[in-house]
Amino acid sequence: MKIKIGTRASQLALWQARYIQQRLEAAGAETEIVAMETRGDKVLDVALSKIGSKGVFTEELEEKLLNNEIHIAVHSAKDMQSDLGDAFEIIAFTEREEPNDVLISDRPVDLSQPLIVGTSSVRRIAFFKKHYPHIQLVNMRGNLQTRLKKMRDGQCDALALAFAGVNRMNYNELIVHRFPLNEFIPPVGQGTIAVEIAVSLDSEIKKIVKEACNDTQTEKCLVAERTFLKEMKGGCSIPVFGYARNTDQGIRFTGGITSLDGQSTITIEQTGTAPAELGRAVALQVLENGGREILAQIKRNP
């Protein structure tokens, strides 16, 4: 059977789909890529936080999964909503690349000086307001190539992006600053690719995809992160962050939330060996130590 791989049509999304395709074909599977535009790709003049945070990049692909038009859907894990419902599941997470945020520009930049930075992430906006309050921020939507064109047309001096996407598109020479993980804590899933399926998918295809594409160490971290995100009820309109990594003592997980202005940040770090329980425990600690108040404030003043 030919495994049909669903993906968004951007260059980065297609890179990710081809990466999964290579893994599957190396395992002996026949494949076909089915590309399409999603709501998040079409609506570019509005911030993500304003057009709805649930399934903005996944809804149309999930319809094709249910209709059996595709067998798997390939996503950036950071774009996946925290609750997939009963009809879908993530069957594989690829080995994670560096999860850092980076700044890219065509010229050298000095973060201590006035600067216009393009970003569409409420988390990055909050961290900029906290650590670099003198920097002006402008909403910047679209795929990486679209954003680069906007920057080169003079809409901003630099772009804040995930290292993984910049690296996959071979724009590393444009990186002018790499934000440390303790300053810009990544969002859940940044740096890894997620493979989503309908629960009803043929068991033989599930087995092939799982064995060919899933990295078990990354999966442990992402289970902790996504459990945390689900408990926090986080989406792209809420500046929640979460980053897990494997250590000799177990999974070390840092999770939290920041106010939209970056002035109030709750960060909890714990280590555990049971990923889901760890993510749930960190979420509870964040909520009990001021996170509920920040969430309530954001919902009152989106």
- For the domain made up of 2-95+192-214, give the CATH fold: D-Maltodextrin-Binding Protein; domain 2 (3.40.190)
Q: What is the pLDDT of residues 181-215, one digit of tens each?
A: 999 999 999 999 999 999 999 999 999 999 999 99
Average pLDDT in the 226-242 region? 89
Give domain limits for the chain. 2-95+192-214, 101-178, 228-300
> Is the CATH number of domain 101-178 3.40.50.200?
no
pTM score of the predicted model? 0.91
Average pLDDT in the 121-137 region? 96
Average pLDDT in the 217-243 region? 92
Predicted local confidence at residue 55, as pLDDT: 56
Which residues are known to be catalytic?
78-79, 123-124, 141, 147, 236
Predicted local confidence at residue 53, as pLDDT: 47
83's tokens = 């609750």
Predicted local confidence at residue 141, as pLDDT: 82
Predicted local confidence at residue 56, as pLDDT: 56
**In the predicted structure, residue 150 carries a pLDDT above the cut 60:** yes
Calculate the CA dihedral of residues 151, 152, 157, 161 and round it to 10 degrees.
40
Cα 114–159–268 angle (5° rounding)?
A: 90
Q: What is the pLDDT of residues 48-88, one digit of tens each?
A: 444 444 455 688 899 999 999 999 999 999 989 889 999 99
pLDDT band of residue 228 (cuts 50, 70, 90) is very high
Domain 228-300: assigned CATH number:
3.30.160.40
Distance, in Å, from the CA atom of 82 to the CA atom of 232, rounded to the nearest integer, reads 9
Q: What is the pLDDT of residues 274-286, one digit of tens each?
A: 999 999 999 999 9
